[in-house]
A = this chain, B = another copy of it.
Amino acid sequence: MAWISATYLLAAREDEVQKRAESLALEQSVEMPLEAVRDPKIRDTIVARVAGIEPFDAHRFRVTLQLATATTGEDVTQLTNMLFGNCSLQDDVELDGVEFPASLLERFGGPRYGIAGLRELVGAAKRPLTCTALKPQGSSPETLAALCETFGNAGIDVIKDDHGIADQSYAPFAQRARACQAAAERASAATGKPVIYAPSLVGSPRKIFENARLARECGIRAVLLAPMLVGLGTFAEFVAEFGEFVVLAHPALGGASRISPAWLFGKFFRLLGADATIYPNYGGRFAYSPDVCRALAGAAREPWGSIRPAMPVPAGGMSVERVPEMIEFYGQDVMLLIGGSLLSAGDHLAERSRSFVRAVGGGV
């Protein structure tokens, strides 16, 4: 019988932590008092177990629970429900990390491309990759496409929509995706270097799938999806059905402060098939520390059974000037995402974009 090992940080007094951990185990499995569970088979094979309690900091313990794999039905949504459904509502609990049995790793499968596939697609074997965003929203498809071509001509590897660009009246998905992909193809032809355009897919499942089929028809090879926003199950279903797309995961709505960012964005999004995972870099306009960023990049890249590594993509208030520091910090297996700071260059956009490309050792 397979068990999932989930670790939580639990705020509790030392003389109460055992009891609190046991009630957490009930909450995340049968959700009723143990004495009311009358079937001994359910007690043995379904009720979650406290597998370890150790001190963590002044007021918290690290508690490891074993959750029965059978309760997940091998479904991503239900897995999330068992890991953090009800206890997300209890503010003394944080989800710290999870170890999955091999059967679940195989079931979910992780990235189809990962770091190696992404590198092959953009034609860059070793150097850090570059990424930028088309914005601001409110721009017309033509404006966004012109911007895409400028970035592509400068040699940037991946050009994604801003995550706020969806399917709005001022830039409907079909027109925008077609125009930007054509611009990326022109830039590829002009520079002799692959330029990848990744449109943002936002909406209900039906809209996401419809727009993905449109993207497929345009020859688009990568997309941007925010798993917490569109739903983890929708994300997983997308990955399973659209094998031709490299998938960039966006962290929007992922700031439930009580799920470890390293685990959620690094490990879990990777498990569900993110080829690259975007997250707030330290020193930008978000509050992540260097330690959190290091752990997150590690979670995305480190060996993990049969699961391919995913590309870490630090972002948020980054600048071309910080590129050397980022490479020093992250090494070569990273895709740096700089958006607003390039666009602030105004008439010098092409020049600053080329500086970005040169800073990672690229160039066209």
Contacts and interface: CB of A to CB of B under 8 A. Distances in A.
Interface of A: 23, 27, 29-33, 35-39, 41-42, 45-47, 70-73, 75-78, 80-82, 84-92, 133, 135-139, 143, 162-164, 166-170, 202-208, 226, 229-234, 236-237, 251-258, 280, 285-287, 339-340, 343-344, 346
B167 A30 contact: no
Contact of A75 (B46, B135, B167): B167
Given A81-B252, A85-B253, A89-B254, A167 B135 contact: no
A297 to B, nearest CB: 16
A228 B289 CA distance: 27
B138 A41 contact: yes
B202 A77 contact: yes
Contacts of A143: 39
A230 B77 contact: yes
Given A90-B286, A343-B32, A169 B73 contact: yes
Contacts of A87: 255
15 contacts: A32-B344, A42-B138, A46-B138, A71-B138, A71-B168, A73-B167, A81-B226, A85-B226, A86-B252, A88-B253, A89-B254, A91-B255, A205-B237, A230-B233, A234-B234
A272 to B, nearest CB: 11
A36 B39 CA distance: 65
A298 to B, nearest CB: 19
A32 B167 contact: no
Given A81-B163, A286-B90, A75 B39 contact: no
Contact of A205 (B73, B231, B285): B231
B258 A257 contact: yes
Given A33-B340, A162-B31, A340-B36, A89 B204 contact: no
Contacts of A84: 253
Nearest to A166: B78
Given A73-B167, A135-B32, A230-B233, A280 B78 contact: no
A88 B255 contact: yes
B89 A251 contact: yes
A258 B208 CA distance: 27
Given A42-B136, A81-B163, A229-B85, A75 B37 contact: no
Contacts of A164: 29-31, 71, 81-82, 85
A207 B233 CA distance: 10
Contact of A77 (B29, B86, B138, B203): B203
B81 A202 contact: yes
Nearest to A286: B89
Contacts of A344: 32-33, 35-36
B258 A255 contact: yes
A293 to B, nearest CB: 13
A156 B295 CA distance: 50
